[in-house]
């Protein structure tokens, strides 16, 4: 089967600091991969490099996404190809409504494929349905993006957006951080509902918590910018029991 | 340009001016002009320097000497005929008045006598003569204001709007002051007097529009008095040519329970200076002052806003926002005065600037003069660049960089636009702001 994502010997830095020291793995359609690692191991940097954050500099290596050289593309082009990043701490955008924000994104992606803009009323109905998947308060959709949202509301909003954008590959950067058990179940349930045989997930997490609800096919352990071990879902449980010190 | 040189020019110009105006001006106007001439000459053109707080950041030395050599009062024989009645607007506006190059007057709908053009001062309807005499030149304090004194010496055209008590004019009255290359004058002194009787309500759009590459100075004085429990929505939309100097001097008196709402939109002009003085003359008067300025190139915009809480139980809200690109510069100087005995005053002021280039500069200076206890006063000021994390967030959702930038810039301006309660004005301003932003960011 063809890979959705192929990462070869990826080295990256932020400023003068080298963070990633050679990452290799690949993701096939329908697979769920988890990247686990302690704080400061480079997990979020990996997510940001893949999404094209301007502060991340790639020093070496290649990343192929949907057959294209991902690293050569601007962040918006990556999204237009079907990459989605669920942010750990998404920005607040005063004055831009969440529904307008999503519509601008969807229309930009459609235009890149020479499709017409979405029908506004139809799109509103779509958002309402997608919001239900994560039990998102519908009032929030008409408010400024993330402005005054609680931590949990921001996470739900990110997963709702994933449902709206229907990406080929979604990178979820700590989708569980700061959530209580009920909210975690809701977010994880939403993620599970969105899994298909074609779409893939890359979940970045410190803890096993989310992985006990969203079962991964592969778990990679990232320490000091390198993948030191890969395994199946049982590896996550092992980390839960023994921590990261034994690697 | 030294003081004596300007003084001589102005005095010489006044002799010429009087040759025409003397035949039409009533005596009381003649004496107002003379008094103002003395004040203008005593004050001289203000100079930007340390210690002169009001003009510290705005240097008007580049004002051409020619601006003070000729003030032709009006040319009664000349009118422009090319203006068509925009039928579409009849439904949206109560009245539209167009001044072109300081000489042409078109009053379009003439639905009633609330609005009169001051072509010559003696054209004021006789039944309103007493009202005009009561307020004209009385609301604006020219003692410390050279440009207001200059206007009061030489004003020749303008509008008088009188809304009688218990009268509600629901659609806007639109005053459009246009300047083209054909203008014979390089200095214009428009004059607007607005008197709202008690329990009345009106919306006024004051628009400045200039085309061409001719340098000119537009120096207007706007005097407003708002009666008991009356309500005025006042919009100034300024799109002067990029070769122009625009100075406005607005003074507003608000009486008991009266409300004044002002929105100032500035996008044009080489150098623009807005002096806005609001005085709460009686208790429970309130004011809301909003402003948005969007400038690029070498434009310079200076807003001097003074709210004088002369009486207790009065409140004010100020929100000014600026978007600056290239080498443009803005000044916001907001003074809030709370007079002795003016208890329970509630005043709040905010100025926020979005800088789109490293060379743009925003000077913002709040000043509070509080002579009373038991008041609530607050202010905030901010200057910053586009939030890069928001940019990345938008781009990560597929939105191209330039569109993402424009979404964020527009959202910044939108806070002022959404506050405009009149739908016609809001849509008008929206289009206006959008066009300027598009030229600024280079999107189509």
State pLDDT tens for residues A61-100. Answer: 999 999 999 999 999 999 999 999 999 999 999 999 999 9
Tell me phi and psi for residue B163, to 5 degrees: -100, 110
Is the complex ipTM more than 0.95? yes
Rounded mean pLDDT, B324-340: 96
Residue B241 CA to residue B264 CA, distance in Å, equals 17
Residue A70 CA to residue A170 CA, distance in Å, equals 14
**Could you give the number of structural domains in chain B?**
2
Q: Do A76 and B396 touch (CB under 8 A)?
A: yes
Please, which residues 153-192 of chain A have a Cβ atom closer than 8 Å to chain B? 161, 165
Residue B290 lies inside a defined structural domain of this protein = no
Which band of pLDDT confidence, cut at 50, 70 and 90, is reported for residue B317? very high
Which band of pLDDT confidence, cut at 50, 70 and 90, is reported for residue A245? confident
Find out whether A171 and A51 touch, Cβ atoms under 8 Å: yes
Residue A30's Cβ-side half-sphere holds a number of Cα atoms within 13 Å equal to 5
Find out whether B172 and B425 touch, Cβ atoms under 8 Å: yes
From residue A116, alpha-carbon distances to A99, A106, A130, B46, B402 in Å are: 18, 10, 21, 57, 20
The fraction of chain A above a pLDDT of 70, given in percent, is 100
Please, what is the angle between helix A151-165 and helix A120-133, to 10°? Answer: 130
Rounded mean pLDDT, B338-360: 96
Rounded mean pLDDT, B48-55: 76
Q: How far apart are the first and last CA of chain A?
A: 31
Residue B357 lies inside a defined structural domain of this protein = no
Q: Examine the domain organization and report whether B278 and B392 are in the same domain.
A: no
B-chain CB neighbours of A85 within 8 Å are: 396
What's residue B442's pLDDT?
Answer: 67
Q: Do A105 and B394 touch (CB under 8 A)?
A: yes
Which band of pLDDT confidence, cut at 50, 70 and 90, is reported for residue B7? confident
As a dihedral over the C-alpha atoms of residue A64, residue A66, residue A69, residue A73, rounded to 10 degrees, the angle is: -120
The average confidence (pLDDT) of chain B is 88
- Contacts of B255 by beta carbon, 8 Å cutoff, 6+ apart: B198, B225, B226, B227, B228, B230, B281, B282, B285
Rounded mean pLDDT, B166-182: 89
What's residue B64's pLDDT?
Answer: 66
Whether residue B344 is predicted with pLDDT greater than 90 in this model: the reply is yes
Q: What is the pLDDT of residues B246-303, one digit of tens each?
A: 999 999 999 999 999 999 999 999 999 999 999 999 999 999 999 999 999 999 999 9
Residue B375's Cβ-side half-sphere holds a number of Cα atoms within 13 Å equal to 28
Q: Is B384 at the interface with chain A, CB within 8 A?
A: no
What's residue B103's pLDDT?
Answer: 66
Residue B79 region, left (φ>0) first, then alpha (ψ -120 to 50), else beta? beta
Q: Do A108 and B389 touch (CB under 8 A)?
A: no
Rounded mean pLDDT, B389-399: 98
Q: Do A92 and B392 touch (CB under 8 A)?
A: no
Q: How many CB atoms lie within 10 A of CB B93?
A: 19
Find out whether A205 and A233 touch, Cβ atoms under 8 Å: no
Q: What is the pLDDT of residues A121-148, one digit of tens each?
A: 999 999 999 999 999 999 999 999 999 9
A-chain CB neighbours of B404 within 8 Å are: 76
Q: Do A105 and B397 touch (CB under 8 A)?
A: yes
Q: What is the pLDDT of residues A176-218, one digit of tens each?
A: 888 888 889 988 998 999 899 999 999 999 988 899 999 999 9
The average confidence (pLDDT) of chain A is 94
Instruction: Tell me, rounded to whole angstroms, the distance of Cα B404 from its chain centroid.
Output: 32
Which of the residue ranges A191-200, A217-226, B73-82 would you say has the lowest mean pLDDT? B73-82
B-chain CB neighbours of A167 within 8 Å are: none
Find out whether A66 and A82 touch, Cβ atoms under 8 Å: yes
Residue B439 domain boundaries:
387-444
Please list the residues that pair with A129 across neighbouring strands.
none
Please list the residues that pair with B105 across neighbouring strands.
B99
Residue B369 lies inside a defined structural domain of this protein = no
Q: How many CB atoms lie within 10 A of CB B123?
A: 12
Whether residue B118 is predicted with pLDDT greater than 80 in this model: the reply is no
Which band of pLDDT confidence, cut at 50, 70 and 90, is reported for residue B81? very low
Find out whether A194 and A168 touch, Cβ atoms under 8 Å: no
A-chain CB neighbours of B386 within 8 Å are: none
From residue B353, alpha-carbon distances to B49, B310, B363 in Å are: 24, 30, 9
Whether residue B74 is predicted with pLDDT greater than 70 in this model: the reply is no
In this structure, the strands spanning A144-145 and A93-97 are: antiparallel
What's residue B319's pLDDT?
Answer: 97
- Contacts of A68 by beta carbon, 8 Å cutoff, 6+ apart: A81
What's residue B429's pLDDT?
Answer: 92
Please list the residues that pair with B188 across neighbouring strands.
B218
List, in order of start, the domains of chain A with CATH numbers: 1-82+169-178+199-247 (3.40.50.300), 90-166 (no CATH)
Domain edge (last residue) among B282, B299, B333: B282
What's residue B72's pLDDT?
Answer: 64
The fraction of chain B above a pLDDT of 90, given in percent, is 64
Whether residue B110 is predicted with pLDDT greater than 80 in this model: the reply is no
Q: Examine the domain organization and report whether B83 and B230 are in the same domain.
A: yes
Please, what is the angle between helix B401-417 and helix B388-396, to 10°? Answer: 120
What's residue B9's pLDDT?
Answer: 87
Helix or strand holding residue B163 (H, E):
strand B157-163
Nearest to B247 by CA among B150, B102, B338, B349: B150
Residue B85 lies inside a defined structural domain of this protein = yes
Q: Is A117 at the interface with chain B, CB within 8 A?
A: no
DSSP one-letter code for A244: S
Q: Is B414 at the interface with chain A, CB within 8 A?
A: yes
Rounded mean pLDDT, A147-153: 93
Please list the residues that pair with B191 across neighbouring strands.
B158, B221
Domain edge (last residue) among B250, B267, B282: B282
E strand residue ranges, B60-114: 95-100, 104-107
Please list the residues that pair with B279 across neighbouring strands.
B253, B308
Residue B435 lies inside a defined structural domain of this protein = yes
Q: How many CB atoms lie within 10 A of CB B344?
A: 15
Residue B194 lies inside a defined structural domain of this protein = yes
Residue B255 CA to residue B262 CA, distance in Å, equals 16
Rounded mean pLDDT, B152-175: 90
A-chain CB neighbours of B401 within 8 Å are: 74, 76
Residue B124 CA to residue A66 CA, distance in Å, equals 76
Nearest to A108 by CA among B442, B443, B385, B431: B443
What's residue B67's pLDDT?
Answer: 78
Rounded mean pLDDT, B388-413: 96
Domain edge (last residue) among B232, B267, B282: B282
Whether residue B107 is predicted with pLDDT greater than 90 in this model: the reply is no
Q: Examine the domain organization and report whether B275 and B394 are in the same domain.
A: no
Tell me phi and psi for residue A230, to 5 degrees: -130, 150
What's residue B104's pLDDT?
Answer: 59
Mutate to test the interface with A, among B387, B389, B398, B414 (most CBs of A within 10 A): B398
Q: Which residue has the tokens 């807003």?
A: B303
Length reported for chain B: 444
Whether residue B1 is predicted with pLDDT greater than 70 in this model: the reply is no
Residue B87 lies inside a defined structural domain of this protein = yes
What's residue B119's pLDDT?
Answer: 59
Tell me phi and psi for residue B354, to 5 degrees: -110, 115
As a dihedral over the C-alpha atoms of residue B431, residue B432, residue B438, residue B439, rounded to 10 degrees, the angle is: 150
Whether residue B50 is predicted with pLDDT greater than 60 in this model: the reply is yes
What's residue B83's pLDDT?
Answer: 47
């Amino acid at each position: 089967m063809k890979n959705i994502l192929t990462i070869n010997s990826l080295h990256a830095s932020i400023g003068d600091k080298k963070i990633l020291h050679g990452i290799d793995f690949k993701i096939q359609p329908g697979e769920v991969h988890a990247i686990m690692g302690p704080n400061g191991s480079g997990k979020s940097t990996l997510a940001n490099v893949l999404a094209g954050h301007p502060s991340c500099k790639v020093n070496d290596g290649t990343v192929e996404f949907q057959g294209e050289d991902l690293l050569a593309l601007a962040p918006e082009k990556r999204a237009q190809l079907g990459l989605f990043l669920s942010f750990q701490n998404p920005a607040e955008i005063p004055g831009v409504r969440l529904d307008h924000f999503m519509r601008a994104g969807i229309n930009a992606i459609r235009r890149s494929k020479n499709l017409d803009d979405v029908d506004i009323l139809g799109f509103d109905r779509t958002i309402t349905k997608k919001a239900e998947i994560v039990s998102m308060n519908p009032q929030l959709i008409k408010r400024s993006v993330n402005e005054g949202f609680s931590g949990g509301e921001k996470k739900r909003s990110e997963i709702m957006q994933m449902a709206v954008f229907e990406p080929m590959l979604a990178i979820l950067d700590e989708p569980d951080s700061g959530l209580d058990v009920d909210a975690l179940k809701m977010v994880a349930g939403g993620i599970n509902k969105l899994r298909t045989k074609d779409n893939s997930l890359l979940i970045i997490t410190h803890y096993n918590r989310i992985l006990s609800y969203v079962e991964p096919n592969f778990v990679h352990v990232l320490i000091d910018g390198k993948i030191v071990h890969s395994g199946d879902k049982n590896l996550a449980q092992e980390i839960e029991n023994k921590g990261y010190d034994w690697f | 340009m030294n003081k004596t040189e300007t003084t001589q020019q102005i005095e010489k110009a006044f002799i010429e001016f009087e040759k025409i105006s003397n035949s039409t001006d009533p005596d009381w106007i003649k004496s107002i002009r003379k008094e103002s001439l003395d004040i203008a000459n005593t004050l001289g053109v203000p100079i930007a320097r340390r210690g002169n707080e009001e003009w510290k950041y705005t240097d008007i030395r580049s004002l051409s000497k020619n601006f003070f050599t000729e003030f032709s009062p009006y040319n009664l024989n000349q009118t422009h005929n090319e203006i068509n009645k925009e039928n579409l607007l009849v439904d949206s506006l109560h009245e539209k008045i167009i001044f072109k190059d300081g000489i042409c007057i078109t009053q379009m709908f003439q639905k009633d006598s609330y609005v009169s053009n001051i072509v010559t001062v003696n054209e004021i309807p006789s039944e309103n003569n007493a009202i005009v005499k009561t307020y004209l030149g009385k609301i604006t304090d020219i003692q410390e204001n050279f440009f207001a004194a200059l206007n009061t010496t030489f004003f020749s055209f303008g509008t008088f709007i009188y809304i009688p008590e218990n009268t509600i004019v629901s659609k806007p009255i639109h005053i459009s002051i246009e300047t083209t290359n054909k203008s014979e004058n390089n200095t214009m002194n428009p004059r607007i007097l607005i008197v709202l009787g008690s329990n009345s309500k009106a919306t006024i759009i004051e628009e400045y529009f200039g085309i061409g590459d001719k340098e000119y100075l537009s120096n207007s004085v706007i005097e407003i008095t708002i009666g008991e429990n009356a309500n005025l929505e006042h919009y100034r939309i300024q799109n002067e040519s990029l070769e122009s100097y625009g100075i406005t001097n607005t003074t507003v008196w608000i009486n008991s329970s009266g409300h004044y709402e002002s929105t100032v939109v500035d996008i044009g002009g080489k150098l623009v200076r807005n002096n806005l003085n609001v005085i709460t003359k009686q208790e429970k008067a309130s004011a809301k002052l909003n402003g948005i300025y969007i400038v690029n190139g070498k434009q310079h915009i200076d807003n001097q806003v003074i709210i004088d809480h002369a009486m207790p139980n009065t409140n004010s809200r100020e929100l000014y926002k600026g978007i600056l690109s290239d080498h443009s510069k803005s000044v916001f100087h907001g003074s809030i005065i709370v007079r002795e005995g003016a208890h329970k005053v509630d005043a709040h002021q905010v100025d926020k600037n979005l800088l789109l280039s490293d060379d743009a500069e925003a000077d913002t200076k709040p000043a509070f003069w509080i002579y009373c206890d038991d008041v609530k006063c607050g202010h905030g000021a901010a200057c910053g660049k586009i939030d890069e994390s928001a940019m990345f967030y938008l781009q990560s959702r597929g939105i191209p960089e330039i569109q993402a930038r424009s979404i964020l810039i527009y959202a910044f301006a939108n806070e002022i636009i959404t506050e405009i309660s009149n739908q016609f004005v809001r849509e008008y301003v929206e289009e206006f702001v959008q066009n300027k932003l598009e030229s600024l960011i280079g999107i189509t």
